[in-house]
Chain A
Amino acid sequence: MTGPWAEALPWAIVLPLVGAALTPAVAVRHPRVSGFWAWGVLLVTAVLTAGLVSELVARGPFSYGLGGWAASYGIELRFDHFSAWVLPLVVLFVVIVPFSWRYLDHVMPDERRPPFYALLLLNAGGMIGFCVTGDLFNLFVFTEVVSLSSYALVAVGGRGLAAFAALKYLFIGAVSSLLMLFATAQLFVLSGSLNMADVSLRLGEIGGGTAVMVAFAAYAVSFMVKAAMFPVHVWLPDAHAIAPSPVSAVLSGMVVKVGIVGMLRIYQIYFGAEVLELGAFNLALVWLGAISIVMGAFFAIFQDDIKLMLAYSTISNIGYIVLGLGLASPYAVIGAAVHVFNHALIKATLFLAAGSIIHQTGFRTLSDLRGVARTMPQTSAAMAIGAVSIVGLPPTAGFVCKWYIALGAFEANQAPFGFALVFGALFIFIYYIRMLNAFYFQPPVHASVAQASETPWSMRGPVVLLASLCLILGVLGGIPLTFVEPAVLDLLPFWGQ
């Protein structure tokens, strides 16, 4: 039984990809049109994904066979509860793109806009595809679409360091992609199928074995690199700090989550097959997550550049999510899954607010930006709300996740990690306090800061909207749970083995 929206599932991927291909053509006369075009495409995609989510709420998960071929022979697209993540994802894109219209004035010449927006659409399309594909090979393809467009988006800012950061990102990303391709091939050889549900079924027949585990390990490492977890995080800070701010918001908020969603997908396959003992792996995740939290915060404290600070804070937050996954108790996993979205929202708020400040003043370090709250009160307030959200003070969006993951730690009988999480957040607050102190309570040192004006509304609107969402989702924390809970509870019986 499928409703009208189920038929629209492939369009959610096709629209942004085709839109990306058409961008240079649309904007051939007036490069600035590309921004409005991209926004329009994303707006339509957002409506489409809203329809898909409504279908999911009404009738549960559904599939679409490309070209009319039945699943396991043809290519299957599958929209389940984890796929619902595409809606907030596209909505965030819809909010971020208007911000970029004016922001890009200082970043790149007009003629480079069409490729920029084409890359952004490609990135969005890739992530949507990644979330809804039911097929392992396409999972790899969409990962590559996301990764390649991300490398280019980092470099698009154009200065020498940007190219270097993009190259570093590319090298590490390429290794991760190779691992993923290897794992996909391995599973194909073992099971003779690429359809996820089918692979899961056949793995169950084969049983465990070293080869199956090697494929799992390769997937795990590959996705950890994409998610920038602690020992393999080295590509992230430079790439995210140097990219133009709207891109930083996309990369830090959403692209790193490809690793987390991918991890959940692989879990779905392996749990269905019941061939996996996760005990040791979970323990590793818990420790790596905890170390990520602390190390991310530790490095962030020593940064003077606000965007670099925010980039390190992403590592901490990925640590929360990974810790939650590793704890493997219902509350913890629910908290981790909710944080996938809430962190995207908060980090987008912070990066866009930071971008506004950099755009208006021309400075990007804390010591230069002293006193900026006087001249840019609304943007600074948004930054402050983002800061208390990411620290997880109630009643903000960050608190909901912290609450669930810490509760999950008690549930999993790992109380020390619960305490570590609660106090790790304090550690994180140290550098945000430094930021707020500099912005609010220190006199300006530069004339351009003292005379800065607020951003135009096309930039301020998105920032204010995102900041208010941080508060709204704090008090209405139940909303994302309705999507996450069924998906997590489906998986959980297999998790803690």
Chain B
Amino acid sequence: MSSWWPGVAVALPLVGVAAVSFGRLTERWRIAALVVPAVAALAVALLIVGDVLAGRTPELFVLRMTPTLWLVLRVDAPGALYGATVAALGLLALVYSFGYVQRGPRWSRYFAFLMASFTCTMGVAYAGNLLTFLIFYEAFSVLTYALVVHEQTPEAIRAGAKYIAYILVGGSLVLAGILLTYFLAGDLTFVAGGFLAADAARGQLLAAFWCFVVGFGVKAALVPLHGWVPDAHPAAPAPFSAVLSGVMVAAGAFGIMRVALDVYGAPLVRALGVAPWLTVIASVTVLLGALLAIGQDDLKRRLAYSTISQMGYLTLAVSLLGSGVMAGALVHLVHHAFLKGTLFFCAGLWIHSSGVRRVRDLRGMGARMPLTAAAFTLAALGMIGVPPLSGFVSKWWLGVGMLQVDAAIGLAVLLAGALLAAAYLLPVVYAAYFAPAGPIAGHAGREAPATMLAPTLVAAALTIVFGLGSHYGGFPLQLAQAAVAAWFGGG
């Protein structure tokens, strides 16, 4: 069904880019020009979710890039789900940023690049073929560089260099994979169930598959390609760390999903025999990420390692090629975005109002900043998977799905990951509430202004809402099941 809405959703944030880059507006109008399009983009994204749930597939042929290839947006169930997540977390991070980012010459730059990468991430979600996917994927990867180095400290510049090196190598591998795919199939349009012919040269199919997995794996932070993650997150401003962890790392996992299920298709992936290798890589990622998180003293670095671990679940699910486990993975993608968003928002609040970056300095924060600490605790429990919070729902479906495909090892990894999550998140909560308060300098320890606190609390509240309401219509699970039905046929 042809529809303008996907194009509108992708283009709306550009209004904000234009307003802060070119307009000579007062600050009040600039903020309005940023917030209004972001709210509108969220509204459109939700509208599209409704459309997709009604069984339609909105698509928009934007441009003919070459005689055979179109820039095309086509929203299927996973795309709608991811797009709505991007729009919602993007809006929260935007509002939060007004309080967090200091006024000055860099202010405009930050918001221009934030909104531009917002546009491109929406484009990734709604891309209808691999070329469109690549265009938006590369664009946001590069635009994000400006946000990673935003603070312009030597650490930030170093982290930025590491980030861009990893990401560009990954992007090039993805490009190589896409070239091979186009060479093999003569087409790049996503088709649920895959479009690559099973009788194509096995060597080339394998080469393209590993190009994709390694290329997207860099962004998805698969071990051993995760090197940029723990450096980029602490260096970046907190609201951007939230977006980076919540939806941008997920873009890599989303790419792997697209490739495995919309380009190759489950039967071909099985026939190629690559799934077990992917399972091993993903399991190592989940466990190693979580183990490394335990030892980190820098809170944001600890959370970054947690992202590596949690995003490993998505790749693990793809590798198991089961319908139930994929539904769980899609739900987890959404739930994780808001959980991790909350955690980074809280970390940012502590940095902003008391300059505290290290876990051991959080002593006494539970009393000084009760709302922040409560939000952090809630999200931490959600991340561990305590019922009835959102993290429990996604892990439940992941676990049930794993049993459906007899993946006992997957289940063990899942449970071990949850246990380790408790080991790296609960000490933070303990430090905030129960450790004896140490001496804290100066004015430290007042709740942050409402512009920052409100998005944090909304994200935390979503943890409960998604946990309790998961079975109602319009919640992620319904979309995930629609996606899985298309991928695996009626599952």
Binding site for B on A (CB under 8 A): 374, 388, 393-395, 400, 403-404, 406-407, 410-411, 415, 418-419, 422-423, 425-426, 429, 433, 437, 440-443, 475-478, 481
Which residues B185-222 have CB closer than 8 A to chain A?
207
Residue of A nearest to B168 (CB): A426
Residue of B nearest to A338 (CB): B66
Q: How large is the interface on B (under 10, 10 to 19, 20 to 34, 35 or more residues)?
A: 20 to 34
Contact between A395 and B176, CB atoms less than 8 A apart: no
Contacts known (A374-B105, A393-B138, A400-B66); A441 close to B172, Cβ less than 8 A: no
Q: Which residues of B contact A423 (CB under 8 A)?
A: 169, 172
Chain A residues within an 8 Å CB radius of B63: 475-476
Known: A410-B180, A481-B67. A394 touches B172 (CB 8 A): no
Label chain B's interface by main secondary structure: helix
A437 contacts B157, C-beta separation under 8 Å: yes
Write out the residue numbers on chain B whose beta carbons fall within 8 Å of the beta carbon of A429.
168
Q: How near does chain B come to A336, taking the closest CB pair, in angstroms?
A: 15
Contact of A395 among B139, B152, B164, B183 (CB under 8 A): B139
Task: Pick the residue among A404, A422, A437, A440 that contacts B172 (CB under 8 A).
Answer: A422
By a CB distance below 8 angstroms, the chain B residues around A388 are 142
Specify which chain B residues have a CB less than 8 angstroms from the CB of A374 in the assembled complex. 105
Q: A425-B172, A440-B146 are known contacts. Are A433 and B164 too (CB-CB below 8 A)?
A: yes
Set of chain B residues within 8 Å of A440, measured between Cβ atoms: 146
CB contacts under 8 Å to A, within B28-57, are none
Shortest beta-carbon distance from A388 to chain B in Å: 7
In the complex, the answer to whether B164 meets A407 with C-beta atoms within 8 Å is no
A394: chain B residues within 8 A (beta carbon): 131, 134-135, 138-139
A406 to B182, CA, bound (A): 11
Residues of A within 8 A of B157 (CB): 437, 441
Residues of A within 8 A of B172 (CB): 422-423, 425-426
B149's nearest neighbour on chain A, judged by CB, is A441
The 19 sampled A-B contact pairs (Cβ below 8 Å) are A395-B139, A403-B66, A403-B179, A406-B179, A407-B182, A407-B183, A410-B180, A411-B183, A419-B176, A422-B176, A433-B161, A433-B164, A437-B157, A440-B146, A441-B146, A441-B160, A477-B66, A478-B67, A481-B67
B147 to chain A, nearest CB (A): 11
Chain A residue numbers with a CB within 8 Å of B207 are 415
**B152, A478: Cβ atoms closer than 8 Å:** no
Q: Which residues of B contact A433 (CB under 8 A)?
A: 161, 164
- A393 & B179 in contact (Cβ 8 Å cutoff): no
Query: Taking each of A393, A404, A423, which has the highest tally of chain B beta carbons within 10 Å of its own beta carbon?
Result: A393
Closest 8 CB pairs of A and B: A394-B135, A410-B183, A395-B135, A422-B172, A475-B63, A406-B179, A422-B176, A393-B138
Min Cβ gap A440→B in Å is: 7
16 extra interface residue pairs, beta carbon distance < 8 Å, beyond A394-B135, A422-B175, A475-B71 = A394-B134, A394-B138, A407-B179, A407-B182, A411-B183, A415-B207, A418-B176, A418-B179, A419-B176, A423-B172, A426-B172, A476-B63, A476-B64, A476-B65, A478-B64, A478-B67
Tell whether, in the assembled complex, residue B168 and residue A478 are in contact, meaning their CB atoms are under 8 Å apart.
no
- How far does the alpha carbon of A426 sit from the alpha carbon of B169 in the complex, in Å? 7
Cα A395 to Cα B132 in complex, Å, equals: 9
In chain B, residues 133-179, which have Cβ atoms closer than 8 Å to a Cβ of chain A? 134-135, 138-139, 142, 146, 149, 152, 157, 160-161, 164, 168-169, 171-172, 175-176, 179
Q: A395 contacts which chain B residues (CB < 8 A)?
A: 65, 71, 135, 139
Measured CB to CB, the residues of B under 8 A from A are: 63-67, 71, 105, 131, 134-135, 138-139, 142, 146, 149, 152, 157, 160-161, 164, 168-169, 171-172, 175-176, 179-180, 182-183, 207
Nearest to B173 among chain A residues (CB) is A422
Specify the chain A residue showing the minimal Cβ separation from B203: A415
Q: How many Å from the CB of B166 to the closest CB on chain A?
A: 11
CB contacts (< 8 Å) of A422 on chain B: these are 172, 175-176, 179
The residues of B that contact A410 with a CB separation of less than 8 Å are 179-180, 183
Report B-chain residues with C-beta under 8 Å of the C-beta of A400. 65-66
Residues on B with beta carbons closer than 8 Å to the beta carbon of A475:
63, 65, 71
B180 partner residues in chain A, CB cutoff 8 A: 410, 415
> Which residues in B have their C-beta under 8 angstroms from that of A443?
152
A476, B67: Cα distance in complex, Å:
10
Q: Hey, which chain B residues are within 8 Å of A481, CB to CB? A: 66-67
Q: Nearest Cβ distance between residue A57 and chain B, in whole angstroms?
A: 16
Nearest residue (CB) in A for B67 is A478
A423 to B67, CA, bound (A): 26
Task: For the complex, give the distance between the alpha carbons of A441 and B105 in Å.
Answer: 12
B66, B161, B182: the one within 8 Å of A478 (CB): B66
Question: In the bound complex, how far is the Cα of B105 from the Cα of A443, in angstroms?
Answer: 12
Known: A422-B179, A426-B168, A437-B157. Is A477-B139 also a contact (CB below 8 A)?
no
Among B64, B139, B160, B168, which residue has the most Cβ atoms of chain A within 10 A?
B168
CA of A400 to CA of B65 in the docked complex: distance in angstroms?
A: 8
Q: Which residue of B lies closest to A407 (CB)?
A: B179
Q: Which residues of A contact B176 (CB under 8 A)?
A: 406, 418-419, 422
Q: Which residue of B lies closest to A409 (CB)?
A: B179
B61 to chain A, nearest CB (A): 13
Alpha-carbon gap, A442 to B142, bound state (A): 18
Query: Could you say which residues of chain B place their CB within 8 Å of the CB of A478?
Result: 64-67
B216–chain A nearest beta-carbon distance, Å = 15
Q: Name B109's closest neighbour in chain A (CB-CB).
A: A440
Nearest chain A CB to B200 CB, angstrom units: 12
State whether B179 touches A477 (Cβ < 8 A): no
Residue with the highest number of chain A CB atoms closer than 10 Å, among B63, B65, B164 = B65
CA distance A410 to B182 in the complex (A): 10
Q: Nearest-CB distance from A212 to chain B (Å)? A: 36
Q: What is the chain B residue whose CB lies nearest that of A425?
A: B172
- Provide the bound-state CA to CA distance between A477 and B68, in Å: 11
Residues of A within 8 A of B65 (CB): 395, 400, 475-478
**Neighbouring B residues of A406 by C-beta, 8 Å:** 175-176, 179
